[in-house]
Amino acid sequence: MSEQEAAAENDNQASALPLAAMSCPIDDNCTGERWQVQDSDQLARLIAIIAMGQAAQASHILSELIPAKPAFTIPELKAEAKIRLTVQEEKQTPRTGYPCWQRDGFIFEAISWIAARQTHGETAYMKDPHVSATSQGLDGLMLELSSDKTQIDRTTVFEDKCSDDPVATFKNKVIPAFRDRHENKRSAEIIAAATALLGKAGIDDGMAAKLAAAVTDRAKRRYRAAFAVTTKLDSDDGRKALFAGYNEISGIDKVQRLGACLVVPPELRGWFDQLAEQAVAYIDALDDGAVDV
């Protein structure tokens, strides 16, 4: 293959990724990432697949850069995913959707997971996004293992927020949540999630139980706060204002605090509505049964 052909192939692979993720400056207390959508159709399809409980299939699609298709579909699974992607502000029976903040929170958690999967690939083991609307607690967890899988090199704790007031949300919700994690409160939740991820890595139960202790080690801990932000905060000054006070999570280095921003148009909720509609339209177009991948 010539250099020109190799470069063209690399360009084609890059265009298959739903997000463009790049580092960006914030301040002396944390590092930054900036995400932009570069393929909304692929992103909507992956969100739909995750909504059908098939995060493993979404991971396979991202690692192989293949067209987004679920591993299988049945009518009930498609209906359940569509409800998860639909807004229903008033409670009713049967349920047809969820409040806007829950629907958008699920979508953003899926996007955050996709961004991390794109960046870290198969070298990291990640907790799947919540598919139950009643799930609370740990937004995301990522383990990076040594090459021989005998130890955990780094643990990343995620807080993913889709808020109309991200500055206040970071200060009043994310920082307290990270502080609790940093003080190893509710550590059983992280240990249980880490043990399950180690099982995915092929580590037997006995060894996984021992290795999971490393997630309580602050020296190996990293925190990632991710927000959907409009163009109003998409600047050096905007990111500084958003992530001000990150150094309240003390005793760690700058690189252990990460602030990530998905940049969306000024009508934040309208943008999530449109993305959800794309995902639902994709689900509607799916045939039932097995899908060749």
pLDDT confidence band for 14 (50 / 70 / 90): very low
Reported as half-sphere exposure (CB side, CA atoms, 13 A), residue 78 has a value of: 18
For 260-291, the pLDDT digits (tens) are 999 999 999 999 999 999 999 999 999 876 55
Alpha helical stretches, state H, 85-174: 100-120, 166-169
Structure token digits, residue 66? 């293949």
DSSP 66: -
For 107-142, the pLDDT digits (tens) are 999 999 999 999 997 779 999 998 765 456 789 999
Q: Whole-angstrom Cα distance, residue 50 to residue 275?
A: 14
pLDDT at residue 95 tops 90: no
Q: Read out DSSP for 204-234?
A: -HHHHHHHGGGGG-GGGEEEEEEEEEEGGG-
pLDDT at residue 201 tops 90: yes
Contacts of 44 (CB under 8 A, 6+ apart): 275, 278, 279, 282
pLDDT confidence band for 2 (50 / 70 / 90): very low
Q: Whole-angstrom Cα distance, residue 227 to residue 205?
A: 35
First to last CA, the chain: 26
For residues 152 and 214, the answer to whether their CB atoms sit within 8 Å is yes
By C-alpha distance, which of 142, 141, 129, 158 is closest to 47?
Answer: 129
Distance of CA 175 to the CA centre of its chain: 18
pLDDT value for 5: 44
- Evaluated on CA atoms 145, 150, 151, 152, the torsion sign reads positive
pLDDT value for 123: 78
pLDDT value for 11: 42
Contacts of 189 (CB under 8 A, 6+ apart): 137, 138
99 phi and psi angles, rounded to 5 deg: -55, 150
Ramachandran bin of 181, using left for φ above 0, alpha for ψ from -120 to 50, beta for the remaining angles:
alpha
